[in-house]
Amino acid sequence: MPRATHADVAQRAAAAFRPSNQVRIGAEVEWLVFHRADPTLLVPAPQAAAVATGPLPAGGAITIEPGGQVELVTHPAPDPTALIAAIEADTAVLSARFAAHDLALVPLGLDPIRPTRRTLDAPRYIAMEQYFTTHSPAGLDMMTRTASLQLNIDFGTNPERTWHLAHHLAPLLAATFANSPTANGADFQPVSRRQQIWAAIDRSRTQPVGATPSAWHRYILDANVMLHHGNQGIQRSPDSHTFAESLATERPPTQADLDLHITTLFPPVRPRGYLELRMIDALPRHGRAAAIATVWTLLTHSALEREALEMCTTLIDPWSVVTSDGLQDAAVRDTALNLLGLVTDRLGTGNPQLAQACDRWRARLAADTGPRTIDELLRTAEQ
């Protein structure tokens, strides 16, 4: 396998910002899996995989995360309405499969009642656990206890503009669609506990990239190396060094190592030839619809760009305040409500179903009526 060079890094970084003449949106929808009779019991990954197996009506693919979380990966859709319809069709079949085994799919960003435990024995996850145990213990919680709604959207004809806008929207989206209010089942607050876990992981691979596409090149080089290809397959990196430092060693990484390294970088917004928005917690049905509608509307309607950016840039040190305080911060809360109002007004009568979803989520934030007990969280399970 050819050795990696700085030119290879530059090529990978540039290729991540591929322009497109059309804009599609897809999703990776995750759930925590609980026993209905006893939610404290673990549901191991092999059990979740066995229950989830089978074709789905909208053609979504199923993957299983290290803690047994279930992930539905959709096909790209031409618009948010089509994406939501595909998710709900596949979700209905999936939830019925799990219900038949007395299991529930719960759209919640963080498991607050079960311990951290990897139950998937894939070499990649074994190596990641070894790395996190040494360098960043919060990474184990991320792997096994968290679930998200990742939205993927094409860049359109102007990747620089789309990236800049998404970079500034990201912290506000994290606050607006937070759905992990407790880490221990006792203390409930309108903040993403899942985001707090991500913020505690090795910052070289989880901090925001930067407002311009050129920052991605530097990000790849400056991130610590977690994994590499060894004689036994994927293995944990034995030393603590950045990818740039590894290029200067006597045995530099291969191009396959470079590609593997890039997959271990987890910023809130990540370029992959399209845009990955990774900062949104797993959400109940109406929250999912609101998040999808909000992301699509803000990133595809240029008329809203200036107003949306003005809202976001009024916040001082947004990632810090969103991570620590979330909607408890008055400025963050007001801005989140205003942003949802902007999206609802834009959707208006043209798409009343999506407008209603956004308005319903806005009302939940305004009244602060999210779940307050473990039982209430578990009752949000898919039906």
pLDDT in tens, 79-131: 999 999 999 999 999 999 999 999 999 999 999 999 999 999 999 999 999 99
Q: Go through 346-368 and write b for each residue having 16 or more CB atoms within 10 A of its CB, e for each that does not.
A: bbeeebeebbbbbbebbebbeee
pLDDT per position as a tens digit, 268-282: 999 999 999 999 999
Domain coordinates in residue numbering, the chain:
6-378
Q: How far apart are CA 179 and CA 192, in angstroms?
A: 6
Rounded Cα distance between 324 and 319, Å, is 8
Question: Between β-strands 227-230 and 233-236, what pairing exists: parallel, antiparallel or unpaired?
Answer: antiparallel
Report the topology of domain 6-378: Creatine Kinase; Chain A, domain 2 (3.30.590)
Which residues are bridge partners to 293 per DSSP? none
pLDDT tens-digit series, residues 21-56: 999 999 999 999 999 999 999 999 999 999 999 999
Helix or strand holding residue 21 (H, E)? none
For Cα atoms 121, 38, 112, give the angle at the middle one, nearest 5 degrees.
65
Higher per-residue confidence, 250 vs 17: 17
Distances (CA, A) of 98 to 36, 42, 158, 179, 193: 10, 14, 42, 22, 26
What is the value of pTM for the model shown?
0.97
- Amino acid letter, 380: T
Q: What are the distances in angstroms from CA 238 to CA 7, 61, 118, 255, 260?
A: 25, 34, 21, 19, 15
How far apart (Å, rounded) are the C-alpha atoms in residues 39 and 58?
29
Share of the chain above pLDDT 70, in %: 100
Q: Which tens digits make up the pLDDT trace of 311-340?
A: 999 999 999 999 999 999 999 999 999 999
State the Cα–Cα distance between residues 282 and 117, nearest whole angstrom.
20
3-state helix, strand, coil in the chain (%, to 5): 50, 15, 40
- pLDDT at residue 373, as a whole number: 95
